[in-house]
Amino acid sequence: MPEIEFHESASGRHIAYRFQPGSGPALVFLPGYMSDMDGGKATAIMEWAARNGRACLLLDYSGCGRSDGDFADGSLSLWRDETCGLIDALPISDIVLIGSSMGGWLMLLIGEMLGHRLGAMIGIAAAPDFSDWGFNAAQKAALAAGQTVYEDNPYGPEPTPTHAKFWQDAETLKRLDSVINITCPVHLLHGQNDTDVPWNTSLKLAAALRSAAVQVHLVKDGDHRLSRDQDIALLIWLLENLHHAPPDRNNA
């Protein structure tokens, strides 16, 4: 694995990342909510890139992993801008975005900003608009009033917080109710045993994308993480067989 380095963002925060130089388009992995670049999917992607001479970027959003900042100050807008700033600071041109869960929402926001540099996208249990469908009316009222909402965490002992700043920002960035002006090839993986993000979210996303080159891969016994050996093997197979769009197929 490449050594961890740090990029100073426009806000002055130091963003931790690992970068593997190589041929393009560069693979950029976007972790999920409260996750980081040390997860199984991120590691598998980086190892595949190293074996195949491909450029690859892993990162921790501010307030996560080894990056500076307080998680309570995080938002989709902030993490989008930090990621785009890091991409622009590295010697990479065309990009393949790979977004897991919340990272699948960020994938759309970053993809819109990349324009003609976006070659393809892979969503893994992508969760766009979860600020809407992921909370009940009482929770939304609390968040709108500036309160933090805590929910049971199936992956650890501490409850999962959603801070009002994150939720209020996310509500302005919903994408599923209008056409998403992205035209590159897109693959969406989703487990049908996902108890966090309903698998039909990927079907809604496929319908919203302007691109006609969209494929949805449903894993009947797959859970939200899609981190089993067979799930990782499917992801790597997609990387090995991925066709990316030439620049003139994307929006500048």
Q: Which residues contact 115 (CB under 8 A, 6 or more apart)?
A: 250, 251, 252
The answer for residues whose C-beta is within 8 angstroms of residue 141's C-beta and 6 or more apart is: none
Query: What does DSSP assign to residue 86?
Result: H
Catalytic site residue from 62, 101, 131, 211? 101
101 labelled catalytic: yes
Which of 7, 190, 217, 224 does the annotation list as catalytic? 224
For the question of residue 194 being annotated catalytic, the response is yes
**For the chain, the helix, strand and coil percentages under 3-state DSSP, each to the nearest 5:** 35, 25, 40
Instruction: Enumerate the H helices of 115-245 as residue ranges.
Output: 130-133, 137-144, 164-171, 200-208, 229-240
Candidates 94, 129, 194, 231; catalytic one: 194
Q: CA-CA distance, 162 to 164, in Å (whole number)?
A: 7
Is 243 an active-site residue?
no
Q: What is the Cα–Cα distance from 99 to 230, expressed in whole angstroms?
A: 18
Residues with catalytic function: 101, 194, 224
